[in-house]
Amino acid sequence: MLTGQFLLLGAILFCIGVYGVIARKNAVLVLMSIELILNSVNINLLAFALRNGSADGHTFALYVIAVAAAEVGVGLAMVLLIYRNRRNIGLDELSEMHG
Amino acid sequence: MIAIELLVAQNIGFAVIALVMIVAALRVVTTHNVVHAALWLVVVLSGAAAQYVLLAAEFVAVTQVLVYIGAVMVLFLFGTMLTRARIGTERDLNNPYWRLGIPVAGLLFAAMAIAIGSSFGDEQLPSDPRVIGIPEISDQIFGAYLLPFWALSFVLLAAIIGAIVLARKD
């Protein structure tokens, strides 16, 4: 197996996630796109862990998974709060803090 | 001979799983149904777990299945359920300027592909890699990376309390 094939898969997933963050208006779908990005990073970390024969990449990947779980929890709580206050989770309408 | 056949099998497995993951990821960002997007995301996350097994990272793969497919997806489905009046196709999920994302993602991918191609061209992964077991990972977490582990436990505690405070009806 080539090193580059895993890195390329990670790059493709990362770019799809970036597209989703830019294109989506629904807040839940933006959070899903962020999950895609974090997973692509994990694939890269584990590919380098295998390449270098080191356990550091595994540790980082586990930490990334834990941070992603916390992020989804807080993110969805915020989305619920916004929905309760506004009956809408379109991100383009949250412009109170716009200067 | 056996090693070569095993490598061929690994490459075929990689290609099939990668193709499924890419198609599913594209469906996540293009579908017009939030529940379908969550279910396509399950396919992507399962494929990622399979890739972790191919990369000899069994413990991370099991953690991925437990945390992502077990917990995060349930959260997503609950979030979908609680924030939407009806389950079904919805036309109004994209920004008006969603087309801007295509050139941005394309340029980003071109830059990364060129960088990967020039740095790792046709470098092979080690065919008999050093197996990294759970004891070694735990030595790392509770040894060299103990301080980030503590910080992470505080992050999780703050996230739990924050989520309760945010979502509470008062």
Please say whether the beta carbons of A55 and A49 come within 8 A: yes
Contacts for B82 with CB less than 8 Å, ≥ 6 apart: A80, A83
Q: Which of A4, A53, A74 sits opposite B159 (nearest CB)?
A: A74
Neighbours of B99 (CB within 10 A): 11
Contact flag B145-A63 (C-beta cutoff 8 Å): yes
Q: Is the pLDDT of residue B170 over 70?
A: no
In the structure, what pLDDT confidence band is assigned to residue A98 with cuts at 50, 70 and 90? Answer: low
Return the C-alpha torsion angle B138, B144, B147, B151, nearest 10: -50
- How much is the pTM? 0.89
According to the model, what pLDDT value does residue B116 have?
Answer: 92
CA distance B45 to B65: 8
CA distance B11 to B17: 10
B1-91 topology per CATH: Four Helix Bundle (Hemerythrin (Met), subunit A) (1.20.120)
In the structure, what pLDDT confidence band is assigned to residue B133 with cuts at 50, 70 and 90? Answer: confident
Interface of B with A in 27-46 (CB under 8 A): 28-29, 34, 37-38, 41, 44-45
CA distance A57 to A74: 26
According to the model, what pLDDT value does residue A33 have?
Answer: 94
The residue segments making up the domain with residue A89 are: 3-93
Mean pLDDT value across chain B: 87
Using a CB–CB cutoff of 8 Å, tell me whether A31 touches chain B.
Answer: yes
Using a CB–CB cutoff of 8 Å, tell me whether A94 touches chain B.
Answer: no
* Closest residue by Cα to residue A20 from B159, B36, B72, B37: B37
Which of A78-82, B80-84, B142-146 is least confident? B80-84
User: How far is the alpha carbon of A1 from chain B, nearest alpha carbon, in Å?
Assistant: 6
CA distance B29 to A16: 7
Using a CB–CB cutoff of 8 Å, tell me whether B88 touches chain A.
Answer: no
Contact flag B76-A76 (C-beta cutoff 8 Å): yes
- Region of residue A87 (left: phi > 0; alpha: psi -120 to 50; beta: else): left
In a domain, A98, yes or no: no
* Closest residue by Cα to residue A18 from A1, A3, A4, A35: A35
Q: Which of B26, B94, B104 sits opposite A25 (nearest CB)?
A: B94
- Domain boundaries, given as residue ranges, for chain B: 1-91, 130-170
In a domain, A89, yes or no: yes
Q: Tell me the mean pLDDT in the region A45-55.
A: 91
Taking CB atoms within 8 Å and a gap of at least 24, the contacts of B140-143 are: B140/A55, B140/A56, B140/A58, B140/A59, B141/A59, B141/A62
For residue A67, give the CATH number of its domain.
1.10.287.3510
User: How far is the alpha carbon of A85 from chain B, nearest alpha carbon, in Å?
Assistant: 11
In a domain, A38, yes or no: yes
C-alpha angle with apex B109: B104 to B112, nearest 5 degrees? 125
Write the ipTM.
0.89
Using a CB–CB cutoff of 8 Å, tell me whether B59 touches chain A.
Answer: yes
Tokens, residue A60: 């980082």
Contact flag B45-A6 (C-beta cutoff 8 Å): no
CA distance B115 to B5: 30
In a domain, A99, yes or no: no
Give chain A's domain count: 1
Q: Tell me the mean pLDDT in the region A26-37.
A: 91
Q: What is the pLDDT of residues B31-49, one digit of tens each?
A: 888 889 999 999 999 999 9
Tokens, residue B106: 């394309």
CA distance B10 to B2: 12
CA distance B56 to B90: 41
In a domain, A72, yes or no: yes
Q: What is the pLDDT of residues B49-97, one digit of tens each?
A: 999 999 989 999 999 999 999 999 998 888 888 876 556 677 777 888 8
